[in-house]
Each structure stands twice: as structure tokens, then as C-alpha cells.
A = this chain, B = another copy of it.
Amino acid sequence: MQKSLLKPTGSALLRKYLQRNLNSAEDIHQEIITLFKPLTVKKGTVLLAHGETCDKLYFVNQGCARCFYLTEQGAEKSRLIAFEGMVITSLGGFISGLPSFEMVDVLENSELLTISRSNFYHLLQTYPEWQQFYAKLLEFAYLYQNKKIEELVTLSAGERYALLLKESPHYIKRLSNKILASYLDVTQETLSRLKSR
């Protein structure tokens, strides 16, 4: 728990995130921050395997992580890719407490801040503001999914790629074609062709 003292910059991003999203006094922020434990992981680390119960929520301090699942045929489908300053978990599993269909892994060497599900729920009970924070988190997740469905249903593969390039070019710069393809719901081959115009 003193680990955060060893890395004084370790929770600066999280602090900013809470200031933006949690309507509470500073000392409560501080208390909450201590519930987030630093975790340094290497690229490729699996944070949540298929069938495990999802008992953590991660804040990405440095690097990136993703939530994904497999189709029957074994193809990967990436649900969400979280960069610095974003929160990630298998939200479905976190909500339900059931064994998770979705997996979480790390796409670059990363520094995360981890809060346990039980501490998260404890905060929910303790601070009404944390309830509000949770509602915001859910609203964001809902709107995000809504947009994704809309894009899947109304845009072609090429249009989805062009939109991502326009709105979030860092996805295209930082991610491998394999990951990017699974995020855009196209095959690697199609993405490769799209990239070369």
C-alpha cells in the first residue's frame, strides 16, 4: 500500500479523472485513491480469463488494455480499448458477478491502478457521490455501445475505418492491424486493403 509513495506521479492521472467525474471533497478523493492499487504488467498479460469472475476494475495510467471475447470459430472481437485516463473491466461480468464471457488483456507494457469489486461496492454503499460516479460510468458505457451499434449497422467497413481515423487516429497509430481489425469488425485482410486506400 506504500507503493504509491514510491511513485509520486502514479496517481496524478487518476486524481484528475476523479476531479472531473466525482463530485466530492478532496479528502474523499484521497481516500478513494488509496483503494486503487498500482499494478505494472507486461504486454500480453491476461487480466481476466474466460470463465473467471470479474472482481477488479482497472484505471489505465500508462499503456493500454482491452476487453474482448471469442466467437464460436475462435475469432477475437474487441469490445473496448482503453488508453491512458480510461477505465476498463469486463463491465458485464463486473455488474453481474457471473463468470465472465469476456476477457481483459494488456496491449502494451502498462501501469494500471486497480480497485477490487468489493471495495467498489463498498464505496457505493458509503458515498452517495460514488453512486453518482457509477451512474456516470454506466451512462458513458451505454452511449459508447450505442454509438458502436449505430456504426456497425449504418456504415461499411471502409466508412468505419475512415471515421476512426478521423475521430481517434491514435487507435490506428498505436494498435496492430490484428487488434484494430477485431475492434472494427473486419478481417485483417480487409483492414490491410483499406489502409492501402
Interface size class of A (residues with CB under 8 A): 20 to 34
Q: Pick the contact of A154: B77, B79, B141, B149 (CB < 8 A).
A: B77
The residue from B69, B91, B154 contacting A142, defined by CB atoms under 8 A apart: B91
Chain B: minimal CB distance from A7 (Å): 32
Of A9-17, A27-35, A128-136, A168-176, the stretch lying at the interface with chain B is A128-136
A159 CB to nearest B CB, Å: 10
Docked Cα-Cα span, A143 to B153, in Å, equals: 18
Contact with B along A62-74 (1 / 0, CB 8 A): 0000000101100
Interface residues in A33-85 by Cβ distance below 8 A to B read 69, 71-72, 77, 79
Verify if A185 is at the interface (C-beta below 8 Å from B): yes
Contact between B128 and A95, CB atoms less than 8 A apart: no
Q: In the complex, what residues of B have CB within 8 A of residue A146's CB?
A: 79, 91-92, 145
Contacts of A91 in B (CB 8 A): 142, 146
18 more CB-based (< 8 A) A-B contacts, given A96-B143, A145-B149: A71-B154, A72-B154, A77-B153, A77-B154, A79-B146, A79-B149, A91-B142, A91-B146, A92-B146, A95-B142, A95-B143, A128-B128, A131-B132, A134-B135, A135-B135, A138-B142, A145-B145, A145-B146
